[in-house]
A and B are shown apart, each in its own frame.
Chain A
Amino acid sequence: MGKTLAQKIFDAHRVDTPAPGVAVLSLDRVFCHEITTPIALNDLVAKGKDRVFDPSRIKAVIDHVTPAKDSKTAEQGKTLRDWARRHGIADFFDIGENGVCHAIFPEKGFVRPGFTVIMGDSHTCTHGAFGAFAAGVGTTDLEVGILKGVCSMRDPETIKINVTGKLRPGVFAKDVILAIIKKLTVNGATDKVIEFAGPVVDGFDMDSRMTLCNMAIEAGGTCGVCYPDMTTVEYLWPFIREEFTDKAAALAEYSKWRPDEDAEYVAVIDFNVDDLEPQVTHGYKPDQVKNVSEMTGTPVNQVYIGSCTNGRLGDLRIAAGVLKGHRIHPNVRGIVSPATPKIYSQALEEGLIKIFMDAGFCVTNPTCGACLGMSNGVLAKGEVCASTTNRNFNGRMGRGGMVHLMSPATAAATAIAGVITNSPLFHK
């Protein structure tokens, strides 16, 4: 019987099988941010184990609350910063160079096909877009990852989703993944890897593939993965050009990280997008999804464009394209947070930032802040936010607030209208 992509990665990284169905894997990357890491670091110090397994395989960023908003968040940043310096972790990104973890780490070329990656952050599944096994973990797993470079995982079962058909104009990766989560439900992929395959995924750029994989966790998935192809090679080429004679050689090497034809799946789902309309969530679970046309007219107080789901350059281009020449509705607070300094800088060069500002948006520095109600755009009780983020949980962006998840195009159109509405990019 053939193997899935995750099984191949597990086979190549397995260092122990402590019990049937459990694998201890060696790690190629341990990513850290300032919210879930400091308690692990303090615990290592308290245990007399203030060590790191390999400073070159550990990458760290301050991204959730930056600049620090109070003494506690300042202390969290300081703990991470001091530790990174103490252990010679060269790839540590502090204010001025920092961005949302799942945007900046791929942008730096840290994730390669076939890698194993953990981070104390559930949206670590984003990095599966590169054909890697990347999983969010808790602080204890992170602590062991930092100390020993290993992590235990249950042997993965995989759901394969073939995304077929042709997307209508104005329908994007975010709409596809929201519709898939609706179909799977929030518990439908628990303990499973999701392989996103088929012609629609093959045609997606890396930004769109990251949007897809980013929300695998919202269906309970351990990781979402896409198969490495020339799109992956092109994205990584500036970082790998020394390793390969040419792109074809890189593709040949990375192609070993594709599933076998006869791989065994717990489910294979064909998902046709021909008739898919722009999607939006209602309620407090990410599987509560409707067509935007069914929610049209719902008033919003705030529009947020950013995050590890949709804060990349492609997202800002789409949103700015909708906003150009318009002002946002007077009842709406518009906030855009480019996900990394490089994205911010490119958006400046392309004139996108000017479009956002002329439209009445507040442009913040790169940060996760508003998405989880920590800073930079927390909602008051009873307020409604149209958001390009990934979670609409009760209280997520502030106690008593309501979050409607949607694509950057829909968010931009909603900002102009002051009510949820389809973007003019969408044509039936």
Chain B
Amino acid sequence: MKNFNGKILFLDRSDINTDEIIPAKYLTELTKEALRPYCLEDLALPGFEPRRDVADKAVIVTRANFGCGSSREHAPWVLECNGINLVIAENFARIFRQNMFNCGCMAVSLAPATIDEIFTVFAATGAECVTDLERMTFTISNGKESRVYPFTVGSFDLELVKAGGWVDYADRKY
């Protein structure tokens, strides 16, 4: 199972699309690892510098409709090969969300008010997230403040996370 703990990258915008996460010109790469330097390269967000801000992060917290647009699984892959296996948002584009769980990563929705609170309390404070899959909680803390947020992930999605992906699961079962 993958790691879902670590420093948070806060992306304070809705509708961040797949072309911003990984531009199409890199879709000619034949390995996932080759995508690594280009994570969020075209993200339109004032003050954001991709390489500086992505380095050492393990979790993304963002607003609504993250991953909209293309079906490219290169979007979860480029996050994954930068050590980001968990995205927390108000909601996700369907294909992106499914791609995350298919890779054994997690895309978890929290209520807009909760996301808002996390931004207000923890953005730009060097906050970290610790995920407890048994209790289904995120503990977000920054040294001064620590808060626990319950979440829900469907049983099928959880099975994929525990199995490490959909290919082996499906080949065994169908």
Q: Determine if chain A interacts with chain B.
A: yes
With a cutoff of 8 Å between Cβ atoms, the chain A residues found around residue B76 in the complex are 138
Q: Is the CB of B98 within 8 A of A138?
A: yes
- Residue contacts A-B, CB under 8 angstroms, 21 given: A18-B156, A19-B154, A19-B156, A39-B32, A73-B28, A137-B98, A138-B76, A138-B95, A138-B98, A138-B99, A140-B99, A144-B170, A150-B170, A152-B156, A152-B166, A187-B14, A217-B69, A220-B93, A284-B44, A372-B19, A374-B24
Q: How many angstroms from the CA of A140 to the CA of B102 in the assembled complex? A: 6
Select A21's contact among B44, B92, B154, beta carbons within 8 Å. Answer: B154
Q: Is the CB of A122 within 8 A of B28?
A: no
How distant is B71 from chain A, measured CB to nearest CB, in Å?
A: 4
Stretch of A41-49, A202-210, A326-334, A416-424 contacting B (4+ beta carbons < 8 Å):
A41-49
Count of interface residues, chain A, beta-carbon cutoff 8 Å? 60
Nearest 6 A-B pairs (CB), nearest first? A138-B73, A138-B99, A19-B156, A140-B102, A187-B65, A136-B71
Q: Is the CB of B71 within 8 A of A137?
A: yes
Query: Provided the pairs A75-B30, A220-B93 are in contact, do residues A393 and B156 lie with their beta carbons within 8 angstroms?
Result: no
Question: Which of B44, B71, B94, B154 lies at the interface centre, i.e. has the most chain A CB atoms within 10 A of its CB?
Answer: B71
Contact with A along B136-174 (1 / 0, CB 8 A): 000000000000000000111001000001110011011
Residue of B nearest to A68 (CB): B28
With a cutoff of 8 Å between Cβ atoms, the chain B residues found around residue A186 in the complex are 15, 65, 68
Select A72's contact among B28, B70, B72, beta carbons within 8 Å. Answer: B28
Q: Is the CB of A187 within 8 A of B71?
A: no
Q: How many angstroms from the CA of A135 to the CA of B95 in the assembled complex? A: 9
Q: How many angstroms from the CA of A36 to the CA of B91 in the assembled complex? A: 24
Contact with A along B73-103 (1 / 0, CB 8 A): 1001000000000000001111100110011
| B interface bracket (residues with beta carbon within 8 Å of A) | 35 or more
Q: Is the CB of A393 within 8 A of B20?
A: yes
Select A147's contact among B14, B42, B171, beta carbons within 8 Å. Answer: B171
How distant is B168 from chain A, measured CB to nearest CB, in Å?
A: 8
B23 at the interface (CB under 8 A from A): yes
Q: Is the CB of A65 within 8 A of B167?
A: no
A309 at the interface (CB under 8 A from B): no
B52 at the interface (CB under 8 A from A): no
Contact with B along A284-323 (1 / 0, CB 8 A): 1100000000000000000000000000000000000000
Q: How many angstroms from the CA of A138 to the CA of B64 in the assembled complex? A: 20
Q: How many angstroms from the CA of A147 to the CA of B95 in the assembled complex? A: 19
